Structure 1
């Protein structure tokens, strides 16, 4: 079934439904046109006839029109943070350079994509004019590859332009981490209690930034000393919210050591005291472990910036907040912990959806792993 969606005073989006996939997933072709309703309907009817006769030519559609329509109509299939990232790359990077080319031109002239990658690798940073990393430009490639794959699936084109060029080579960088002595020394330089506790918690659990900031008290089991990691705190479009999935869409149970137990108990005690003294009924209404002193959720980027400030002050500018996660894993590995257990703790391979399921690693093994940290620093 085909229909029009009004997108502005003189702009309509054409939506044409195609045959569903074998698994029943519905497929659509989208095209936005600058025209009055009658003209837009005429274009839609022509497209329908061409599709039915097998002569529809999506090659003539501009990349800008295609990508913006593709992005809008994939919004519900993407995490809010992923959609925001895609939107940034498409609108700020890809379209200003490639937006006016048609899909057909990108197929006939693969060098257009190659030149785009080269440009971004040389001076693609929009703020400084310096180079973008291979990893980030590969991300641009993956977005376009995914979008063109849909165009291919919808029979708009017969070749995926991104298949005609090689993305920048994958460069594996060694993770930067602190050894136990350096980490302990760094934490002593952090004079703000909130940040010191947060940084130490990160180093002793290996959780990601969003997982830590999205951690709520009812996800902590003090008796068994375990944390249920199932959500993240994110900030997109100026709004902070809790996303009920982790980076890998996995739920995992992470045990914590006695030092982390004491750290959490102290935080909990202080939050109860603040709420009582200030008589704030809605204080920390999100029940966050690492809420700000006023009870509001922290801005994830502000936490990373704070870490960098302390790292620079300690002459350790090479480290980022994520280095705390790397340090957690590296210290365990250097002290004899097997890689499989570390991977489970980090959430790289666990495919469990409940707190009780462990894959290929026992509770005893995981608890032994995190408790080693107490003996190290």
Structure 2
């Protein structure tokens, strides 16, 4: 019986073989940054892994994206990573933010350095420079203004990057170098050896209970009353609210399935996308008053459909314009600000509605894990970090209550005489 033939690859697909050390090596000719074609090698623990790495590089090469060599610059590799790798794994808006970050900060600071010679010290020095350098001067912002008010006027305004922005820039570079490690262009990710510190969470001012009541009162009669009520009772994100379809709601059971989000992208306009993470895809319970509001909203939408006639364009969204089209997130923000003004409330972001829901639930004594599931956070640590200041305040209230109970016997006895049971530590959830 003849021995089975060894698997071969077609012309142009490269070569794959097993090395003496047990690893698999794949090699092929790819487009280089200087316009020539050079032989590039990739490695894997299995034949499939090596083949997949080579196929990915070949696909980028065939689409006209040069594959930088190990001796290439950081800028060349970042450009390749954005155009040939990240674009397939990131959402369009996220990819746009990454591209802006790389072109504005990373390439000007580190782009000319050799990828294999980049060190943690280089990254630390660059981040320290970003941290202490006025961006008006560095990026020439002031020079482009009609009325200079910084370096071009001879007086620096010291417009520095926030710690949150510096952490974001560092994370983008770290992601790119992590892929370079996976492709075995570099032995290790030196950006991981640089610590930027943990930035303070962005400050937000959630609505108080009285302010929340004012907002709901002002929303009565608004054509999007059901949306504002649902936002404040469930903490849904703006995109999740606008991405809701009637098929996602079970009003008889009082539940909603959160499966998608509505976003505006640069190429597709208003686009319905899957939820941000797997944890964001969830089923939530709806309060009775929200169920009633949604039923009334459905009746109102039917009346609008009859009035619009042939101009009605509806694809199943719960919240739409008067013509049945999806609502632009920017227009919802404008409507929310107008509603705040009508209610006589301070101006906050729409996302602070979500923070308000979580804060009010915490103050009602609801477990952190329940809030995490309602908000769709990937990890309970995210919930705990964002609302750490609320939990600290509740802890202080609890400690003060205990301190009062452990005070003088007379005060403790008097407090007991006022009722058969001690006061509850939190208001019961309704």
> Please, what TM-score do these two structures have when normalized by structure 2?
0.65
Which SS does the other structure have where 2:284 is aligned?
A: strand
From 75, 78, 87, the counterpart of 1:67: 78
CA, structure 1 residues 350+113, in 2 after alignment: closer, same or farther (shift >3 Å)? closer
| 8 Å CA contact 1:21, 1:27 repeated in 2 | no
From 94, 97, 107, the counterpart of 1:85: 97
**Structure 1 residue 64 displacement after superposition:** 2.0
| 8 Å CA contact 2:42, 2:184 repeated in 1 | no
From 189, 195, 212, the counterpart of 1:160: 189
**Structure 1 residue 19 displacement after superposition:** 2.4
- Matches of 2:132 and 2:325, distance apart in 1: 42
| 8 Å CA contact 1:113, 1:165 repeated in 2 | no
| 8 Å CA contact 2:257, 2:284 repeated in 1 | yes
Q: Is 1:20 matched up with 2:20?
A: no
- Matches of 2:324 and 2:30, distance apart in 1: 46
| 8 Å CA contact 2:226, 2:290 repeated in 1 | no
Q: Is 1:176 matched up with 2:205?
A: yes
Unpaired stretches in structure 2, ≥5 consecutive residues: 1-13, 15-27, 59-63, 143-157, 381-427
1:269-321 Cα distance to aligned partner (Å, 9 max, x none)? 12212222322375222x1111122222222234335434554674513x211
Pairing of 1:336-351 with structure 2 (within 5 A): 336-348=365-377
Which SS does the other structure have where 1:156 is aligned?
A: coil
Q: Is 1:299 matched up with 2:299?
A: no
Aligned match of 1:76: 88
Which SS does the other structure have where 1:261 is aligned?
A: helix
Aligned match of 1:201: 230
> Please, what TM-score do these two structures have when normalized by structure 1?
0.73
Pairing of 1:260-339 with structure 2 (within 5 A): 260-280=290-310, 283-285=313-315, 287-308=316-337, 310-311=339-340, 314-317=344-347, 319-339=348-368
1:230-278 Cα distance to aligned partner (Å, 9 max, x none)? 1111222152211123344542111111211122112211221222232
Aligned match of 1:215: 244
Aligned match of 2:273: 243
From 90, 115, 119, the counterpart of 2:128: 115
- Matches of 1:192 and 1:95, distance apart in 2: 52
- Matches of 1:323 and 1:168, distance apart in 2: 25
Q: Is 1:103 matched up with 2:115?
A: yes
- Matches of 1:266 and 1:136, distance apart in 2: 44
| 8 Å CA contact 2:127, 2:166 repeated in 1 | no
Unpaired stretches in structure 1, ≥5 consecutive residues: 32-36, 48-56, 352-371
Q: What is the alpha-carbon root mean square deviation over aligned residues?
A: 3.8
How many residues end up aligned between the 2 structures? 329
**Structure 1 residue 195 displacement after superposition:** 4.9
CA, structure 1 residues 111+340, in 2 after alignment: closer, same or farther (shift >3 Å)? closer
Which SS does the other structure have where 1:71 is aligned?
A: helix
**Structure 1 residue 11 displacement after superposition:** 5.5
Mark the structure with the bigger radius of gyration: 2
